[in-house]
Chains A and B, each alone.
Chain A
Amino acid sequence: MSAPLLQLDIQAKQFARRLVLDRVSLSLAAGEVVSLVGPSGCGKSTLLRIIAGLDRDYQGQAQILGEPIRLHSRHVGVVFQEPRLLPWLSVADNVGFELGRRGGRHPRVAELLADVGLADWGHAYPKQLSGGMAQRVAIARGLFTRPALLLLDEPFSAVDAFTRMRLQDVLLAAASHSQASVLLVTHDVNEAAYLSDRVLVLGRNPGRIRGEVRVDWPHPRQRGDARLARAEAEILALLDDREDAPQPPPQAAPWPASLARLRLAV
């Protein structure tokens, strides 16, 4: 069997002697869409930063396509929580940032902008974009180098619900068009179930993987699908923090999606 796309075995990750990640292992196969969900502060962003090569101060092993992880791996693209477009560059030059000053002229830029529905916006400055549009540009920039793995850290948390749904579909389409696998951090259980083939649930203090929920039927999916609701309920059950809870919530009963999001926000 060939090496998995991503193989991560973190023994420990500490910030100033505080254990943030404790024995976190995960692997990703090519073509997969995997979500990480967990309460805030459980170390999701830290995990992504390790995979992106931005944080090397941890104990453990991490490999992408058999190579040790390093910053600016050609196999990895990154989309941050905020779009982080450079305001002095045009949209096109932001997408082609990797190539240098005139990166916006590369034909791949036009292709990607079309993929995210912004074909006519290459010459605009970031200040002219709405939040959702800026995040589309950020996705295009993340995919510019044709990475095997696209990392996203709560990419849609700042946009309204309708924009979020559209962006989710844009992400799936653009990533599959670029043949990139996706590892996405989110706190939206609904989003995790809708997008992913697998959802990993992280617990907190210290961050540990509590379990995994498979959502194994192909896209396109119906947002109202009862199977999605069941997956959401499973994720929520794993998320439930109370160690001394008298009974685990009934897993069979599918929760309405809106209720599911409410629970997590508490």
Chain B
Amino acid sequence: MADIDQHAARPLTAAWAKRAQGWLLPLAVLLIWETVVAQQWVSAHLLPPPSELAHTLLELTRSGALLAHIGVSVARVLAGFAIGAALAVALGAAVGLSPRVEALIDPSFQALRAIPSLAWVPLLLLWLGIDEAPKLTLIAIGAFFPVYLNLVAGIHNVDRKWVEVGRVHGLRTGALIGRVFLPAALPHVLTGLRGGLSLAWMFLVAAELMAATRGLGYLLTDGRETGRADLVLVAIGVLAVLGALSDSLLRLLETRWLAWRDVALTQEAQP
């Protein structure tokens, strides 16, 4: 009896121990950081200690400024990502499914992809001014390519044998796309969406650094211009948390939609 209990208990404690291990390094860093600044080995002006950051975070939260910045940034990411991903799904499906469309537009996209996306910024500012339009465009460009490339690859990889099953059951082009090609390409699409979302956050920061009066990127610029490193660090931390949160949302979708996949390493769904 005791034997069985031990067996049941061991993996659980092992899992907790493993998780606790992951916290050791960050905690140590925080501790050292705090002491280093308290001993005045490093100027608190350049590297505010964690306690001061916590204070700043509290202040920003209490005044409502942080929430406003977050709201603006999240809205921009969502809108830009939605536009970019929707365009990518439409064009990627057309290119993946039709050799003629592929011959027509894929070479151009491959060429455009070679441009580092941030190089678009001056042009976008020139064309679209400094309000929302260029920011959303930039974020959409960032989100577009991962989704587009993964979807095209996913469709190209669909097994001819499944397509034959569809044809034997009387599926014509439209139904074949909906019932064979898209479900078969779904794992690739989700990989693309996750990549696109993380690039959307990156491009949000780029856009807001350059021309913005609100948003987390603006908080970064503001912190730099007013010489407040604590603002910069808090903004970085918030961006990290938001990025991780949005990615884990997509991961949740992935585990729900792709439960059918027969892969060697399935991530165990942790409650």
Chains A and B belong together in one complex: yes
Q: Report yes or no: B167 in contact with A88, Cβ–Cβ below 8 A.
A: no
Q: Is A78 an interface residue (CB 8 A)?
A: yes
Complex interface residues of chain B between 154 and 174 (CB less than 8 A to chain A): 161-162, 164-165, 167-170
13 further A-B pairs in the complex, CB-CB below 8 A; given A80-B165, A97-B169, A127-B262: A54-B164, A54-B167, A72-B167, A72-B169, A80-B161, A84-B162, A84-B164, A86-B183, A87-B260, A87-B261, A88-B183, A97-B165, A127-B261
B residues with a Cβ closer than 8 A to A are: 161-162, 164-165, 167-170, 179-180, 183-184, 186, 259-262
Taking a contact as CB atoms closer than 8 A, the residue among A98, A125, A126 that contacts B170 in the complex is: A98
Assembled-state Cα–Cα distance A52/B183 (Å): 25
Q: Report yes or no: B161 in contact with A71, Cβ–Cβ below 8 A.
A: no
Q: Report yes or no: A84 in contact with B262, Cβ–Cβ below 8 A.
A: no
B170 / chain A contacts, CB cutoff of 8 Å: 71-72, 98
Q: Report yes or no: A86 in contact with B262, Cβ–Cβ below 8 A.
A: no
Taking a contact as CB atoms closer than 8 A, the residue among A54, A82, A101, A126 that contacts B168 in the complex is: A54
B162 / chain A contacts, CB cutoff of 8 Å: 84, 86
A87 / chain B contacts, CB cutoff of 8 Å: 260-262
Assembled-state Cα–Cα distance A168/B167 (Å): 26
Q: How far is the CB of B22 from chain A (nearest CB, A)?
A: 31
B165 / chain A contacts, CB cutoff of 8 Å: 80, 84, 86, 97
Assembled-state Cα–Cα distance A84/B184 (Å): 13
Q: How far is the CB of A94 from chain B (nearest CB, A)?
A: 9
Q: How far is the CB of B185 from chain A (nearest CB, A)?
A: 11
Q: Which residue of chain A is the closest to B164 with respect to CB atoms?
A: A54
Please, could you name 17 A-B residue pairs with CB atoms under 8 Å apart, sorted by A?
A: A52-B168, A54-B167, A72-B167, A72-B168, A80-B161, A82-B161, A84-B162, A84-B164, A86-B162, A86-B165, A86-B183, A86-B184, A87-B260, A88-B260, A98-B169, A101-B179, A127-B260
The winner among B164, B168, B170, B259 for most chain A CB atoms within 10 A is B168
Q: Which residue of chain B is the closest to A94 with respect to CB atoms?
A: B165
A98 / chain B contacts, CB cutoff of 8 Å: 169-170
Q: Report yes or no: A125 in contact with B260, Cβ–Cβ below 8 A.
A: yes
Assembled-state Cα–Cα distance A72/B179 (Å): 16
B262 / chain A contacts, CB cutoff of 8 Å: 87, 126-127
Q: How far is the CB of A97 from chain B (nearest CB, A)?
A: 6
Assembled-state Cα–Cα distance A86/B260 (Å): 10
Complex interface residues of chain A between 83 and 101 (CB less than 8 A to chain B): 84, 86-89, 97-98, 100-101
Assembled-state Cα–Cα distance A127/B266 (Å): 13
A126 / chain B contacts, CB cutoff of 8 Å: 260, 262
Q: Which residue of chain B is the closest to A79 with respect to CB atoms?
A: B168
How would residues 38 to 79 of chain A score, 1 for a CB under 8 Å from any chain B CB and 0 otherwise?
Answer: 000000000000001010000000000000000110000010
Taking a contact as CB atoms closer than 8 A, the residue among B164, B180, B186, B259 that contacts A125 in the complex is: B259
Q: How far is the CB of A50 from chain B (nearest CB, A)?
A: 13
Assembled-state Cα–Cα distance A84/B180 (Å): 12
Assembled-state Cα–Cα distance A71/B169 (Å): 8
B259 / chain A contacts, CB cutoff of 8 Å: 125
Q: Which residue of chain A is the closest to B171 with respect to CB atoms?
A: A72
Assembled-state Cα–Cα distance A126/B162 (Å): 14
Q: Which residue of chain A is the closest to B257 with respect to CB atoms?
A: A88
> Given A80-B161, A125-B260, do A86 and B180 touch, yes or no (CB 8 Å)?
yes
Q: How far is the CB of B169 from chain A (nearest CB, A)?
A: 5
A127 / chain B contacts, CB cutoff of 8 Å: 260-262
Q: Which residue of chain B is the closest to A125 with respect to CB atoms?
A: B260
Assembled-state Cα–Cα distance A97/B261 (Å): 19
Q: How far is the CB of A200 from chain B (nearest CB, A)?
A: 23
A86 / chain B contacts, CB cutoff of 8 Å: 162, 165, 180, 183-184
Q: Report yes or no: B184 in contact with A88, Cβ–Cβ below 8 A.
A: yes
A72 / chain B contacts, CB cutoff of 8 Å: 167-170
Q: Which residue of chain B is the closest to A138 with respect to CB atoms?
A: B165
Q: Which residue of chain A is the closest to B165 with respect to CB atoms?
A: A84
Q: How far is the CB of A86 from chain B (nearest CB, A)?
A: 6
